[in-house]
Every structure is written in structure tokens, then in C-alpha cells.
Structure 1
Amino acid sequence: MTRILLLPGWQGSSDGHWQRQWERLYGDIVVEQADWDFPRRGDWIARLEDVILAQPDPVALVGHSLGCHLIDAWSASTRHADRVVCALLVAPPDLQSDELPAALLPWRHLLSQAPLPFPATLAASTDDPYCRWQAAQQLAQRWGARCANLGGCGHVNAASGLGDWPHGRQLLDAMLPPAQHPTALFSA
């Protein structure tokens, strides 16, 4: 069965965030980083690699915010991308923005130009303060991902009031092979 790995962004995901709710509801694994406030790219990539290789089954990656760029950076540097069934990329920030926080600047200059080597859907809001809709569409195109318009949901985080975000789970489930839907185990 596919294991779902949740990749929070800069500063992690709070208890009210849908990623933490998915962890509780479905038993998904949150990939914890040693330092959420100063995201060292190499450290984050190495941690993701370790967690993926520790899984006995294939994985699906669900990134939020900087976690989306982590998926891109990891896939460009690993020899184990074949372990990933699919990726859901939620609300990636625009790393080219003039308003990018200083802690994220090192991520700006190391972007991969290759499409992701596995199926992906990018889910973005039309009013995300960290990424204009047009920038999200450009990221989806660069990553070879299907682009899902979420309407006005802000940064698709706890402040967006989405609860456990069932629509996001539907987007993920649509990419998984039917026999590998972990959500089905918990909805009976």
C-alpha cells in the first residue's frame, strides 16, 4: 500500500493545519525537519531521502508551501524517484517574488528546470498572498503538473479555515491507483 508523506513548508504546520489533521485522521507521516525556521535546503533534502528510503512501500508526497519546492529539489537530486507514485503540490510560494522572506532566499537560485519524474497535481488559490495565480500556473507547467484552481483559499493553511480539507484528499486520491487508497481504510 502507498504511504503518504506530508511535507510542511517554512515554519512547519500548526495543529490546525490540514496536514496535521491528515496525520491524525489517516495515519499519514509528517516529515519533520530539524529546523523549521531556517530551512537549509540540503538538510531538508537529506531528511526527505532518509524518510522515503525507510518506507517499505512506495510513497505519495504531499507538499505544502516550501514543501512543494522540497519535492522539486529532492527529485532533481535523488536516484530514488521511482519510489514516488505521485505528488500533490499545495500552495507553493513564488520564490521569485520581491517579497520573499530572507530565510527562503537560498532556495531561489537553485531551482530545477526539469519536470517532476512522477505524476503531480498543483493545487493553488487565486488569492494566495505568497503566489499569484499566474505564477502558480507557471510552476505547474514547469513541473509537468496538472493545475487545480482552488478559488479563494488564501495560502491553503490553518488560517484558511479548511479543517481537514476533504477536497485536497480527493485530489490526492484521484492520483493514487485504486487499490492503494489509504483513505478508503478509514472511511468505512
Structure 2
Amino acid sequence: MRPLTLLTVPGLGSSGPAHWQTRWEQQHGCRRVEQRDWQRPVCAEWVATLEAAVAAAPGPVVLVAHSLACATVAHWAAATKCQVVGVLLVGPADVDRREMLPEVRGFAPMPLARLPFPSIVVASETDEYVTLARAGAFAAAWGSRLVNVGALGHLNSESGLGLWPAGWALVRELSSNVGAGEPATGG
């Protein structure tokens, strides 16, 4: 069985060196979906870049999205013909909130169609970009399991998650649910 391709999908500004996505890339061999412009995202462009990355992957894919990338994945799922093993959606930014940056609001409205693959939404009780109730509503609409991790902020570098082994366990769960093999590790 071919090893899984794990694609990290960062949000606005990308993920810096202390972010768990970057650490997973270094530790576990995940590949980053690289957007042309991390500071001025355009929804259609980000979705097209994600589509190209999934289509080019050498094996079955698990997506690991954070923040604005969760909206990207939801938009992508509504239009793609590509299949993925599963998706981990971490700290989904609520793109429908009026107080969000215009760049983030450009991804509104948040698609609420059921996702055509297994998915897990991970949310914090103290995320400044999405309430736990709203993250729960996303999870329900998408057919995702909701995991409440407590008071950990936006689940980014400032949250101090390091390699975030609890998150990696969720990736392993997604990959084992369909028998696609273990996530690839190493570089």
C-alpha cells in the first residue's frame, strides 16, 4: 500500500517556525501547500492551488488545515473531483464574522455542505477567531467530529503546542479509518 501524503494547509500569513504545522513538516515529512500570497489571500486562487497540490500528490492524501485554510478546504470540497482520505480542520476562522479582516471575509460565506470525506474539526474554547459554538456548527454541517481541546487559544504558535502529539493522533485516526496505510514519516 502506498504511504499517505500529508498536506499541511496554513491560513493567513502561513505558519511560522514554531507552529505545529511547520514542526510536523520537519518531523513527519508533511508537505506544505504553498500559496502565492500569504498576506493577501484570494479564495479562488487558494482553492485552485489546493486542487493542484492534491492532484499532484503521489499517494492517498490527508489534508491538515488551520484557520483560514479550513474555509479554503470547505470551498475546495464543494468543487473538486479529487478524493482525499480525510481532513483535519483546526481552529476554523469564522469568515462570516463582520469584525474579521477584509482578506478573511473574502472567503465568506462559509460553505456548510457536508464534506465528502471523513473529517475532524478541532476547536478551542478561547479561540479569538471562532467561538466553540460556531466551530460546533461547522462540524455538524460538514459531518465532522468535533474535538474540544479546552482553553488553547487559536491553536497556533502562541498556543505553545510544540509538535502537538494529540493533533498527530487525530491524523493517525483519520488515516487508519480507511485503511490507507500509515502517514509517511521522515523527509
TM-score by length of 1: 0.93
> Which residue in the other structure is 2:11 paired with?
9
Asked if the contact 2:74–2:112 (Cα under 8 Å) also holds between the matched residues in 1, the reply is no
> Which residue in the other structure is 1:182 paired with?
183
Q: Displacement of 1:66 after TM fit?
A: 0.7
- Give me the whole-angstrom Cα distance separating, in 2, the residues matched to 1:99 and 1:127: 17
Which stretch has the larger CA shift, 70-79 or 94-103? Answer: 94-103
| 1:144-155 correspondence runs (5 A) | 144-155=143-154
Please tell me the root mean square deviation across aligned C-alpha atoms, in Å: 1.3
Which stretch has the larger CA shift, 169-178 or 147-156? Answer: 169-178
Identical amino acids, percent of aligned pairs: 38
Structure 1 stretches lacking a partner, 5+ long: none
> Which residue in the other structure is 2:72 paired with?
70
Asked if the contact 2:127–2:152 (Cα under 8 Å) also holds between the matched residues in 1, the reply is yes
Which stretch has the larger CA shift, 54-63 or 173-182? Answer: 173-182
| 1:40-55 correspondence runs (5 A) | 40-55=42-57
AA matched with 1:174: E
Q: Displacement of 1:13 after TM fit?
A: 0.5
Q: Does 1:173 align with 2:172?
A: yes
Could you say what secondary structure the match of 1:168 adopts?
helix
- Give me the whole-angstrom Cα distance separating, in 2, the residues matched to 1:151 and 1:33: 30
> Which residue in the other structure is 1:90 paired with?
90
Higher RCO structure (Cα 8 Å, ≥6 apart): 2
Q: Displacement of 1:112 after TM fit?
A: 2.3
> Which residue in the other structure is 2:124 paired with?
125
Q: Displacement of 1:171 after TM fit?
A: 1.1
Structure 2 stretches lacking a partner, 5+ long: none
**Change over 3 Å in CA distance of 1:3–1:40 after alignment to 2:** same
> Which residue in the other structure is 2:102 paired with?
102
Could you report, residue by residue, the CA deviation over 1:130-172 in whole angstroms, capped at 9, with x for unpaired residues? 1111011001011110000000110000000111111100111
- Give me the whole-angstrom Cα distance separating, in 2, the residues matched to 1:14 and 1:23: 12
Asked if the contact 2:175–2:183 (Cα under 8 Å) also holds between the matched residues in 1, the reply is no
Which stretch has the larger CA shift, 17-26 or 71-80? Answer: 71-80
AA matched with 1:27: G
Q: Displacement of 1:101 after TM fit?
A: 0.8
TM-score by length of 2: 0.93
AA matched with 1:29: R
Q: Displacement of 1:17 after TM fit?
A: 0.3
Could you say what secondary structure the match of 2:54 adopts?
helix
- Give me the whole-angstrom Cα distance separating, in 1, the residues matched to 2:135 and 2:112: 15
- Give me the whole-angstrom Cα distance separating, in 2, the residues matched to 1:164 and 1:97: 30
Could you say what secondary structure the match of 2:97 adopts?
coil
- Select 1:18's aligned residue among 6, 15, 20: 20
- Give me the whole-angstrom Cα distance separating, in 1, the residues matched to 2:133 and 2:116: 23
AA matched with 1:182: P
Q: Displacement of 1:102 after TM fit?
A: 1.3
Could you say what secondary structure the match of 1:51 adopts?
helix
* Alignment length (residue pairs): 182
Q: Displacement of 1:179 after TM fit?
A: 5.9
